[in-house]
């Protein structure tokens, strides 16, 4: 594996400690990461090398016993720190000089992978500096690529997303850009495609003639948890609707791709998202519910008079012949009774609505698949009762092999596989679908609900 430098802008933030660094240690310990590597943390705070290593050791969320002490120590030996200001050209020159120093030591032009772990408002400035300092260009013609990982939210509305994407297109080639939606990297979500396309018995049923409705749910018990200010400026629809929920819809509704190659899969996801029917103003009250849990305005960082939604439910349609007339219910909320992400596919039963087969993709927790079917209740009369076929990763003892989402994302970005990253077309289509709703958000009543409720 080619030597690689991983740069984390905003390394002192929550994401780096919670997700990125533990994922890097795991890849390193699984030998899926080059032995010659450096992780450079970039941020404003002042640390010397030792202080930085200690800070990271403390912040890094790893379970006791997850790694051998030796492994963590070796990993930390590859860490270094660059103090800098995000809007200061000299800071980027210093970073570039550090690259040269490391490459000279290794005697090779290494790969460079940049991760923007900073508030989205800083993205454009950082990207411009990476480019103007010459760091977006590989140091040699045939070796050492440069790639950039962009976190969601990708813009905070359609205009901002277009402007960010235009800038990225100007500064980088498409093969260098990895737009993260970490849901795409969840193993149980990728299993939707495997289940659909590897099991031919379901394919003939996967259409409007047999499917009555689809429910996509991303429920969370917790609140914004330390991200109050940011969350309050976004709301649930932008936070998880415009991205995670719609990507789940795309995987359920997409046509069979021509191949399992990244371009074909992304194209098919994009086609579904582009075919989402925009909700007209007069239908808004009928098709959309928004809510806020009682007590949300007392959360840290949240405005006392906040009108931000912590819950939404949308009845949506996909304008493709396969899905004509099939409602897709999209629902998400914080402060609900349980944390679970799940997709339920209800099959039609024209003679008895109460006896519908349901196929459930359980994304988390306890990822798996369940099919509800009916059997005859033993006895003299003809009655039926529901039973289920179930697959669970945990029960099948497959769960220990599941890479977590950030391991998968970093691994794939390193390998240059863009399948689990969103394309421009997908991101724009998602924004186009949610914008008309967001523009009239204020006209919808904000339904208050008790924290921990089962139903809003
Ligand atoms: C993030 C949202 O993108 O996804 C969070 O910003 C949300 O608000 C999180 O809690 C859910 O992700 P996961 O992987 O914990 O289900």
pLDDT in tens, 122-155: 999 999 999 999 999 888 878 899 999 999 999 9
* Whether the CB of 420 sits within 6 Å of ligand 1: no
Q: What pLDDT score does 69 carry?
A: 87
Three-class secondary structure assignment of 266-322 = HHHHHHHHHCECCCCHHHHHHHEEEEEECCHHHCCCCCCCCCCCCEEEEEECECCHH
Cα distances (Å, whole numbers) of residue 21 to 74, 152, 195, 274, 326: 13, 18, 32, 35, 42
Q: Which numbered atom of ligand 1 lies nearest the CA of 183?
A: 14
Q: Which pLDDT value is given to residue 135?
A: 94
Determine the residue of 182, 185, 404 to mutate for testing ligand 1's pocket, defined as the one with the most ligand atoms within 8 A of the Cβ atom.
Answer: 182
Average pLDDT, the chain: 95
450 annotated ligand-binding residue? no
Higher pLDDT pick, 396 / 231: 231
* Residue 354, pLDDT score: 82
Active site residue 244: yes
Show Cβ contacts of residue 141 under 8 Å, excluding neighbours closer than 6 positions.
Answer: none
Label residue 61 by pLDDT band (50, 70, 90). confident
pLDDT given at position 430: 98
d(CA 6, CA 410): 10
Nearest alpha carbon, ligand 1 atom 12:
183
Give residue 247's pLDDT. Answer: 98
Catalytic residue (choose from 74, 115, 215, 244) = 244
Ligand 1, atom 9: closest residue by C-alpha:
240
Q: Any known ligand binding at 44?
A: yes
180 lines ligand 1 (CB under 6 A): no
CA of 244 to the centre of ligand 1 (A): 9
Q: Which atom of ligand 1 is nearest to the CA of 227?
A: 8
Ligand-binding annotation for 376, yes or no, is: no
Q: Which fold has domain 184-449?
A: Dihydrodipicolinate Reductase; domain 2 (3.30.360)
Each residue's pLDDT tens digit, 45-55 = 999 988 999 99
Question: Is pLDDT above 80 for 395?
Answer: yes
Mean pLDDT over 395-424 rounds to 93
- Check pocket membership of 239 for ligand 1, CB cut-off 6 A: yes
Asked whether residue 217 is marked as a ligand-binding residue, the answer is no
pLDDT for residue 67 = 85
Indicate whether 448 pLDDT > 90.
yes
Q: How far, in Å, is the centroid of ligand 1 from the Cα of 354? A: 34
For the chain, give every domain's residue range.
4-151, 184-449
Q: Provide CATH code, domain 4-151.
A: 3.40.50.720
Distance 182 CA to ligand 1 centre (A): 9
Domains 4-151 and 184-449 share a fold: no
Q: What is the DSSP string of 98-136?
A: HHHHHHHHHTS--EEEEEE-S-GGGHHHHHHHHHHTTTT
Residue 105, pLDDT score: 95
Percent of the chain with pLDDT over 70: 100
pTM: predicted TM-score of the whole model, two decimal places: 0.95
pLDDT at 49: 87
pLDDT single digits (tens) 65-92: 888 888 889 999 999 999 999 999 999 9
The response to whether residue 165 sits with its C-beta less than 6 Å from ligand 1 reads no
Q: Is the CB of 240 under 6 A from ligand 1?
A: yes
């Amino acid at each position: 594996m080619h030597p690689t430098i991983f740069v984390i802008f905003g390394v002192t933030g929550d994401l780096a400690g919670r997700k990125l660094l533990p994922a890097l240690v795991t890849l390193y310990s699984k030998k899926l990461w080059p032995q010659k590597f450096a992780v450079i943390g970039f941020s404003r705070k002042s640390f010397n090398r030792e202080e930085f290593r200690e800070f990271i050791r403390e912040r890094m969320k790893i379970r006791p016993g997850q790694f051998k002490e030796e492994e963590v120590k070796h990993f930390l030996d590859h860490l270094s720190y660059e103090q800098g200001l995000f809007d200061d050209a000299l800071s980027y020159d210093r970073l570039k000089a550090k690259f040269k120093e490391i490459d000279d030591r290794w005697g090779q032009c290494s790969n460079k992978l940049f991760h923007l772990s900073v508030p989205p408002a800083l993205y454009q400035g950082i990207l411009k500096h990476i480019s103007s300092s010459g760091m977006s260009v590989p140091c040699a013609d045939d070796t050492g690529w440069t790639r950039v990982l962009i976190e969601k939210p990708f813009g905070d509305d359609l205009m901002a997303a277009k402007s960010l994407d235009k800038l990225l297109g100007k500064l980088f080639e498409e093969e260098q850009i990895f737009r993260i939606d970490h849901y795409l990297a969840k193993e149980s979500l990728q299993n939707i495609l495997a289940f659909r396309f590897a099991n031919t018995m379901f394919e003939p049923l996967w259409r409007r003639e047999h499917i009555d409705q689809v429910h996509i749910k991303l429920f969370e018990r917790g609140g914004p948890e330390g991200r109050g200010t940011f969350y309050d400026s976004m709301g649930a629809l932008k936070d998880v609707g415009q991205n995670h929920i719609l990507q789940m819809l795309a995987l359920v509704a997409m046509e069979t791709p021509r191949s399992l190659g990244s371009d074909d899969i992304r194209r098919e996801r994009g086609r579904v998202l582009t075919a989402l029917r925009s909700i007209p103003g007069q239908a808004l009250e009928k098709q959309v519910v928004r809510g806020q849990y009682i007590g949300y305005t007392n959360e840290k960082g949240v405005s006392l008079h906040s009108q931000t939604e912590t819950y939404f439910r949308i009845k949506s349609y996909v304008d493709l012949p396969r899905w004509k007339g099939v409602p897709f219910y999209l629902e998400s909320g914080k402060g609900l009774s349980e944390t679970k992400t799940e997709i339920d596919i209800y099959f039609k039963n024209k003679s008895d609505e109460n006896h519908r087969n349901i196929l459930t993709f359980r994304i988390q927790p306890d990822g798996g698949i369940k099919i509800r079917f009916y059997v005859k209740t033993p006895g003299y009369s003809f009655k039926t009762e529901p039973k289920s076929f179930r697959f669970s990763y945990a029960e099948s003892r497959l769960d220990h092999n599941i890479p977590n989402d950030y391991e998968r994302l970093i691994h794939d970005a390193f390998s240059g596989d863009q399948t689990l990253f969103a394309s421009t077309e997908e991101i724009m289509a998602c924004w186009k679908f949610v914008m008309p709703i967001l523009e009239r958000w204020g006209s919808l009543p904000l339904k208050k609900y008790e924290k921990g409720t089962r139903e809003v």
